[in-house]
Structure 1
Amino acid sequence: MTTQVVILAAGMGSRLGRSLPKPLTELGDGRTIMRQQFDNIEHAFGHSARVSIVVGYKLEHIIEAFPHTSFVYNEQYDQTNTSKSLVRALQASQPGGVLWMNGDVVFDPIVLERAAVMVARDQSFVTVNTSEVSGEEVKYTTSAEGYIKELSKTVKNGLGEAVGINYISSADKATLQRHLIKVGNQDYFERGIELAIEKDRMLVEPVDISDLYAVEVDFAEDLAQANLYV
């Protein structure tokens, strides 16, 4: 069965201070952040994965770098956040579940090996770690049954960080789309997940990758940290 993968790469990424889209930032090993993601996708799912990239800011550079990929255009990339990029990608997807990731995450290839087990089960999940987190990170809590309960930057007493690699099952996809449409333009996609959990009792499992590396590159110090691993 073909795995559908979406990379969210429409944003301007201004905090890193680079002229190109942030996913095209070069890492210490010579690959770009996005090239590293493609390598990890191929490592876990082979050549059969169907990858699409949500583009917006300076999209021509990403299209030139990955010309054989399919693209979804968020024409409001400068006015919206990841919730609206993700809903466009889900609307354009084929039937079945969708694995997606933020286009600025540098991560251990084993993360997607672990994710592949859940994808095969068609179980919605969010990858998390249990490290200490600051106000900038998306934090999470779990229910008594062990499923995700809260998921946002404003979570109090979070158990750790949600690292930006997630999966929505075929059964849950329409529910998530409905909530992503409802949320505000500046909301992150995590708000749609939270609402689907709260309103529709969608069950989202946390997949703990605390023993692996995953760095979301927002600032220069994040890039330096990511380069310690690659």
Structure 2
Amino acid sequence: MSTQIVILAAGMGSRLGRSLPKPLTELSDGRTIMQQQFDNIQHAFGRNAKVTIVVGYRLEHIIEAFPEASFVYNEQYDQTNTSKSLLRALRASTPGGVLWMNGDVVFDPEALERAAVLVARDQSFVSVNTAKVSEEEVKYTTDAEGYIRELSKTVKAGLGEAVGINYISRDGKAALVRQLTRVNDQDYFERGLELAIEEDSLRVEPMDISDLYAVEVDFAEDLERANLFV
């Protein structure tokens, strides 16, 4: 069975100040952010990986750029956050686990090579960077066994930051769908994961990629930093 992969790309990305969807922002090597993601996916999972893109804002541009993908439409892209985009994608997925990523992350190809090992084990995970813990980022803590316990922007004494590349196992998917249904429209998908950990005993491993680059492009300075790596 081929790996199911979801890219969340419905948002307006207004903070970057571009007219096109943020994943179509061009990098210094001539590729777009999303093309770099597709290249990384193919590198780690081969040409048979099934990629579904959650679209919303100016969706026709993404559909035109990546006709080989499948698409899920978040018609409330201007009113909801990543929790509801991921919910739509998981509901549309076939049986089995799902790897997903934010559509604005520029990252080292090796991140998905490491991910592939956990995907093969069907182990739910959140990719993390322990090198820095910024106040405005999603942070995490772990329990005594090393699995994620808390996951939000309000975490105190966080061990690191969530990077935006994640996997939900086949057996954990139903719990995550149920929790994503419950959360507020403006919640990030991490809230659904946190609730599934707390209420459904979902075991989520932190996958450390601190030694690799991964830049979430929200502002012009983030794009400049990402361009130093590609």
Mean Cα displacement is larger for which, 132-141 or 213-222?
132-141
The aligned counterpart of 1:97 is 97
- Which residue is 1:83 aligned to? 83
Superposed, 1:56-205 pairs within 5 Å as: 56-205=56-205
Q: Secondary structure at the match of 2:46?
A: helix
Deviation sequence 1:9-62 (CA, Å, 0-9, x none): 000000011110000000010000000000000000000100000000000000
What's the offset of the Cα at 1:135? 2.2
- CA distance in 2 between partners of 1:133 and 1:226 (Å): 18
Q: Counterpart in 1 of 2:206?
A: 206
User: Which residue matches 2:225?
Assistant: 225
Taking the aligned partners of 1:13 and 1:141, their CA distance within structure 2 comes to: 28
Do the aligned partners of 2:134 and 2:161 also contact (CA within 8 Å) in 1?
no
Aligned residue in 1 for 2:34: 34
Distance in 1, matches of 2:158 and 2:217, equals 21
1:48-88, Cα deviation, whole Å (9 max, x unpaired): 10000000000000001011211000000000000000000
Deviations 1:89-119 (A, max 9, x none): 0000010000000000000000000000000
Question: What count of residue pairs does the alignment treat as equivalent?
Answer: 230
CA distance in 2 between partners of 1:133 and 1:10 (Å): 27
Secondary structure of the residue that 2:88 maps to in structure 1? helix
- Give, in whole Å, the separation in 1 of the partners of 2:184 and 2:74: 15
Which ranges in structure 1 are unaligned for 5 or more consecutive residues? none
Distance in 2, matches of 1:3 and 1:74, equals: 22
1:176-218 deviation line (CA, Å, top 9, x unaligned): 0000000000000000000000011110000000110100001
Aligned to 1:5: 5
Alignment-mate amino acid for residue 116 of structure 1 = A
Describe the SS at the equivalent of 2:47: helix
Q: CA deviation at 1:131?
A: 1.9
Q: Please, what TM-score do these two structures have when normalized by structure 2?
A: 0.99
Structure 1 distance, partners of 2:161, 2:30, is 28
Aligned CA RMSD, in angstroms, stands at 0.6
2:20 and 2:155 map into 1 onto residues whose CA distance is 32
Give the Cα–Cα distance (whole angstroms) in 1 for the partners of residues 185 and 135 of structure 2: 21
- Residue 161 of structure 2 aligns to a residue whose secondary structure is strand
The list of structure 1 runs, each at least 4 consecutive aligned residues, that deviate by more than 3 angstroms after superposition, is: none
Alpha-carbon separation, structure 2, partners of 1:131 and 1:180: 29
**TM-score, structure 1 length as denominator?**
0.99
In 1, Cα distance between the equivalents of 2:10 and 2:113?
Answer: 26
